[in-house]
Amino acid sequence: MTESTTHHGTGPDHGTGAVVVVAAALLDGGRLLAARRSAPADLAGRWELPGGKVEPGERPEDALVRELREELGVEAVPGERIPGEWPLKPGYVLRVWTARLRSGEPRPLEDHDELRWLARHELDTVDWLDQDRPAVAEAALRLPAA
Ligand code: C5P
Q: Which atom of ligand 1 is nearest to the CA of 52?
A: 4
Distance 52 CA to ligand 1 centre (A): 5
Please tell me the distance from the alpha carbon of residue 49 to that of residue 130, in angstroms, as a whole number: 11
pLDDT tens-place values along the chain, 146 residues long: 444 444 333 445 546 789 999 999 999 999 999 999 999 999 999 999 999 999 999 999 999 999 999 999 999 999 999 999 999 999 999 999 999 999 999 999 999 999 999 999 999 999 999 999 999 999 999 999 97
Of 24, 29, 26, 32, the C-alpha closest to 140 is 32
Please tell me the distance from the alpha carbon of residue 54 to that of residue 130, in angstroms, as a whole number: 21
Closest residue by Cα to atom 11, ligand 1, is 52
Entry pTM = 0.89
| Residue 135 half-sphere exposure toward CB, CA atoms < 13 A | 32
On whether ipTM exceeds 0.90, the answer is: no
Helix boundaries (H) for the chain: 60-72, 133-140
pLDDT at 15: 62
- Decide: 111 in ligand 1 pocket, CB within 6 A: yes
